[in-house]
Copies of this chain bind each other. A is one copy, B any other.
């Protein structure tokens, strides 16, 4: 299907992975005038994209053939590697001079390795993890932590401009963008766990939790994550905006990186155990603020909606 449109002179962008982030990023690029073709392993995701006016592909190769820009919005490094070099991998069908924009969170060493393999084929690779959530993906307001060659940045420019409010240019080698993203995930993951440890401890003591939220968000104990996630706990609503499993994955990557570099991460290690416990207790696909429910279950603290239990 994708090939019908190859010769219109428009920049063609292929988006692989049409989840809440990828679908929004595809929408932003279409709005900016790019010719966007989408693929997802879930046919329903492609159907939604087509119903939304998008152009669907029958396989990753079908999407990528003829594209100037490939935006990979898969889950992790392993999926990125499979997309590029697995069975039906797209590296072999990317057109000369095109760029692979990789947005999955991954170990910087994996990003460096993938970039080297892609570049050895005469193609460009931009290490470009994203931050901002589904709403900002859809409005073209993401933050992108990018590193790569000058040529990769130039080839990616129309897509970056369409998707992001802010592109940090972090260096000329793949891996640096990934490393910045891991530092952010380290802090984000620890802060969510700390916020949950604190709010359930406040509940255990019988404090007025709305007042705790008011006081802490105006005090030195505040974090972006406390401010953003604790309202879910106060509402007792654990509908996943970002799931527990995301931090099982991301803090796992941080812990593995740190182990291989002989760097101690006691706070990451403690937080990861709590994400694992929440996942083990059945909350893996619930909102990451579910750690507050876990602390409540472990201690008898009373939280709004916690009695509903895990799903």
| Contact surface of A with B, Cβ cutoff 8 Å | 108, 131, 143, 145, 166, 168, 170-171, 176, 179-180, 183-188, 190-191, 193-195, 197-198, 200-202, 204-205, 207-208, 211-212, 214-216, 218-226, 228, 254, 258, 261-271, 273-274, 295, 298-301
Q: In whole angstroms, what is the CA distance A223 to B217 when docked?
A: 10
- Contacts A187-B226, A215-B184 given; indicate if A299 touches B166 (C-beta within 8 A): no
Q: In whole angstroms, what is the CA distance A299 to B263 when docked?
A: 5
| A261 in contact with B204 (CB, 8 Å) | yes
| B201 in contact with A186 (CB, 8 Å) | yes
Interface of A is mostly: helix
Residues of chain B within 8 A of A195, CB atoms compared: 187
Q: When the two chains form the complex, which single residue of B108, B186, B215, B225 contacts A197, counting CB atoms closer than 8 Å?
A: B186
Q: In whole angstroms, what is the CA distance A265 to B187 when docked?
A: 18
| B221 in contact with A188 (CB, 8 Å) | yes
Q: In whole angstroms, what is the CA distance A212 to B226 when docked?
A: 21
| A216 in contact with B267 (CB, 8 Å) | no
Copies per complex? 2
| B264 in contact with A298 (CB, 8 Å) | yes
Q: When the two chains form the complex, which single residue of B145, B263, B265, B299 contacts A215, counting CB atoms closer than 8 Å?
A: B145
Residues of chain B within 8 A of A219, CB atoms compared: 131, 143, 184, 224
| A198 in contact with B222 (CB, 8 Å) | no
Give the residue name and chain of the B residue nearest to A217 (CB).
Answer: B224
| A190 in contact with B187 (CB, 8 Å) | no
Q: In whole angstroms, what is the CA distance A274 to B170 when docked?
A: 31
Q: In whole angstroms, what is the CA distance A19 to B208 when docked?
A: 32
Q: When the two chains form the complex, which single residue of B166, B190, B215 contacts A168, counting CB atoms closer than 8 Å?
A: B215
Give the residue name and chain of the B residue nearest to A176 (CB).
Answer: B207
| B218 in contact with A143 (CB, 8 Å) | yes
Residues of chain B within 8 A of A197, CB atoms compared: 186, 190, 265-268
Give the residue name and chain of the B residue nearest to A171 (CB).
Answer: B208
Q: List 25 A-B contacts (CB under 8 A).
A: A131-B220, A143-B218, A168-B214, A170-B208, A180-B207, A183-B216, A183-B221, A184-B216, A184-B220, A185-B221, A187-B195, A187-B198, A187-B221, A190-B194, A190-B197, A194-B267, A200-B263, A201-B254, A201-B263, A201-B265, A262-B300, A264-B299, A266-B270, A267-B270, A270-B270
| B205 in contact with A179 (CB, 8 Å) | yes
Query: In the complex, what's the smallest C-beta–C-beta distance from A137 to chain B, in angstroms?
Result: 14
Q: When the two chains form the complex, which single residue of B216, B220, B222, B273 contacts A266, counting CB atoms closer than 8 Å?
A: B273
Q: In whole angstroms, what is the CA distance A266 to B278 when docked?
A: 14
Q: In whole angstroms, what is the CA distance A273 to B267 when docked?
A: 10
Give the residue name and chain of the B residue nearest to A192 (CB).
Answer: B220
| A183 in contact with B168 (CB, 8 Å) | no
